[in-house]
Chains A and B, each alone.
Chain A
Amino acid sequence: MTTISQTSKDLDMEMSSDRARVLKSLAFSDQLFSFATRAAAYAVLLLLAGIILSLIAGAWPAMKAFGFEFLVTRRWAPQLEPMPVLGALAPIYGTLVSSFIAMLIAVPFGLGIAIFLTELCPHSIRRPIRLAIELLAGIPSIIYGMWGFFVLGPFLATYVEPGIVWACADIPVLNSIFSGEMVSNLSLFNASLILAIMILPFITAIAVDVFSTVPPVLKEAAYGVGCTTWEVVNNVVLPFTRVGVVGGVMLALGRALGETMAVTFIIGNSFKISGSIFAPGTTISAAIASEFAESEGLHQSALILLGLLLFVLTFIVLASARFMLMRLEKRAGA
C-alpha cells in the first residue's frame, strides 16, 4: 500500500475514492440487511398482536350481545328469531373431553414408544422406526378425517363399541359414560382416538429428546447396582426428565385442543352435551370449520368468539409447556 501511494499519487487518489465508494456501499447493504432481519423478527411479534386484535375485533359484537352468558349457555340456535341464542358450553365441553381422552390414550403409547426407542431398540432399526412414527405427524389432518370417517369409525361402531357397551351395561357410572343408545360412526370417542393417533408422534419425539438428556453415567450406575431396564426407566430416566415429559405432553395437548379437520369429519357436529362418549358432539374448531363459511352477523361473530376462546386456551397450555421445556433446557445447559 505505502509503496504504491509513494510511487503514484494519481493511482492513490483513484484507489482511495474507489475504496470509499466500496466501503460506503458495503456499509449500506450491511445496514439494510441488519434492518431487514430486525424488521422480520418484530413482524413475528406483530403477527401475534394482529391475530389477537383481529379476533377481538371480530368477536366484539358477540361479546356485547351475550357477555358472560356465552360461556355457560348450552343452547346453540343460530337461526332463532328475533335473536339467535348462542352458547359455547357444548363446544367447550367437546374440546376438553375429546382432548382429555386423546391424552389418556396417547400418553402411555407415546412414552412406551419413546422408552422402546431409547432403551431397547437395536441401533440399526432405530432410525427407520423413528421416521415411521414421525411420518404419522406428517400426514395431513384431512386424511385422518377421511380415514376415521370411512375406516376407523365404522369399524369401532360395529366391532368395538357394542362390546364395551355390553360389558359396562350393569356398572353404575360406566354405563352412562359408555351408553349404547347412540353408538354410531360419528362420536366423541372416535374423534378422541383419531386425535390420539395424531398427537402420538409429538409426545414420542419430545420424550425421545428429553430421555437423551439423561447423563449415561446415571443409567450406568443404576444398571451397575443390578437394576432391571424397567427399574432404570422408572427410577432414573423418568424422574430426571419429568419436567420435560410434562412439557411435551402439554405441547401435544395444545395440538389436540386446536385440531380441526380430522375432528370435524368424525365428531358428528352436534351441539349437545351427552354424558356418553359414544354420542356425537362438537368441538370449538369443528364448529368453526363446519359453520363459518355459511355464517353471518351475530352467528359469525360468535364463531370468532369461539376461536378467541380456543386461542386463549391453547395459548395458556402451550405457554406453560414452553416454560417447562425451557426449565429443562436451562438445567441441561448448566
Chain B
Amino acid sequence: MASYSARRRNSSIVMGLCLAATGIGIAWLFLILFSLLVNGIPGLTFAVFTEMTPPPGEHGGGLLNAIFGSVLMTVIGVGIGAPIGILAGTYLAEYGRHSKITPVIRFINDILLSAPSIIIGLFVYGAVVVPMRSFSAVAGSIALAVIVIPVVVRTTEDMLLLVPNTLREAASALGLPRSFVIRRVAYRAARAGLITGVLLAVARVGGETAPLLFTVLSNQFWSVNLVKPMANLPVTINNFINNPDANWKQLAWTGALLITVAVLSLNITARFFGASKDGR
C-alpha cells in the first residue's frame, strides 16, 4: 500500500479537481448571465414595455405584444395544468396511497416529467392544431399545461406525503369527511410546498420554446384572440435573433434578458418559499 503522504496527496489532488469542477460549474452561470446583461441592457428602454414588435428594417419598437402573449399563455397553461396536477397528486398521496394503480401513475408521471418538450409540441399539433385547422394561443396554452401537470403532480404528492398522519387522524376523529380532512388540514399543512410546486411549474414553462414553435407560431401585432396565432417572447426571440436586422437582434437579446431574469427570480422565490417552511 502507498505511503500515508502519497495517499494524502492523491486525496488532495482529487478533492482539488472537485473544487475546480464546482468553480467551473458556477463560472458557467455567471458567464451566461454576464453576456445576457452586456448584450441585453443597452436595449432595455421604456419602449420595450410599451410598443409592439417592429417590422424588419424599422427603428424602435418594443416587445409589449410578445410579453403580453407569453404572460397570458403561461397563466392559462398553469391555470389548466395546476388544478389537474394538484388533484392527481392528491389522489396519489391520499385516496390512492395503497392502490395498485398508484405506482404505475407515479412512474408514468415521472416519464412525462422528463419527456422532451418538443414531443409535447408534436402531440398538441396533432391533437389541437390539426383539428382546429389553425395555429392558436389555445394550442400553445394546452402544450404548456401538459408540461405543467407532471411538475405539479410530483411536488403535490411529495408535499402531501410529508404531512404527518396524526394530523389526518385527529381531523377524522372529529368526524370530518375525508375530503375536508384533505382540503382543510392536509392542504393547509402542505401549503408552502404546493405553492413552491406551482411556482416551479411557472418557471419551467416561462421559457419553453420548443412546444410553442408549431402550436402558436407568433405574429407582429397586438392580439387577444385566443384561437389565432399570438406573439410570445420565446418564439419572438427565436425569430429575431437569427435575423441580420440589428434592431431585431437587440430586441431579441433584451427579451432573452427579461425571460432569464423572470425565470431565475421565480426559481429563487420558489426555493425560498419551500425552504422557509421547513426552517432549513
A interface list, Cβ under 8 A from B: 26-27, 29-30, 32-34, 36-45, 47-48, 50-51, 54-55, 57-58, 108-109, 112-113, 115-117, 119-121, 129, 131-136, 138-144, 146-147, 149-151, 197, 200, 204, 226, 228-231, 233, 251, 254-255, 257-261, 285, 288-289, 292-293, 304, 307, 310-311, 314-315, 318-319, 322
Using known A-B contacts A41-B105, A55-B119, determine if residue A113 contacts B18 with beta carbons closer than 8 Å: yes
Given A54-B126, A230-B10, A292-B214, A151-B35 contact (CB < 8 Å): yes
Interfacial chain A residues near B31, Cβ < 8 Å = 151
Chain A residue numbers with a CB within 8 Å of B101 are 41
Tally of A-B residue pairs with Cβ under 8 A? 256
* Interchain nearest-CB distance for A214 vs B (Å): 16
Given A43-B88, A149-B241, A258-B114, 14 extra CB contacts under 8 A = A37-B95, A44-B108, A47-B146, A50-B127, A108-B21, A119-B15, A133-B29, A135-B267, A138-B264, A254-B114, A307-B122, A311-B116, A314-B114, A322-B107
Given contacts A27-B177, A307-B122, are A112 and B22 in contact (CB under 8 A)?
A: yes
Q: How far apart are the CA atoms of A228 and B90 in the complex, in Å?
A: 46
Residues in A with CB closer than 8 Å to B105 are 41-42, 44-45
Stretch of B54-62, B178-186, B189-197 lying at the A interface: B178-186
Chain B, interface SS category: helix
CA distance A184 to B105 in the complex (A): 46
Interface of A is mostly: helix
Interface contact B96-A38, CB-CB below 8 Å: yes
Number of residues from B at the complex interface, CB < 8 A = 89
Q: Does B226 contact A (CB under 8 A)?
A: no
Residues B179 and A29 in contact, CB atoms below 8 Å apart: yes
- Per-residue CB contact flags for chain B residues 239-280 toward chain A (1 = under 8 Å, else 0) read 001000000000011001001100110011001000000000
Per a CB cutoff under 8 Å, which of A48, A54, A289 touches B127? A54
Q: Is the CB of A58 within 8 A of B117?
A: no
Task: Report which residue of A58, A146, A150 has the largest number of chain B beta carbons within 10 angstroms of its beta carbon.
Answer: A146
A116 to B15, CA, bound (A): 7
Could you tell me which residues of chain B, from 147 to 181, have a CB within 8 Å of some CB in chain A? 149-150, 153, 177-180
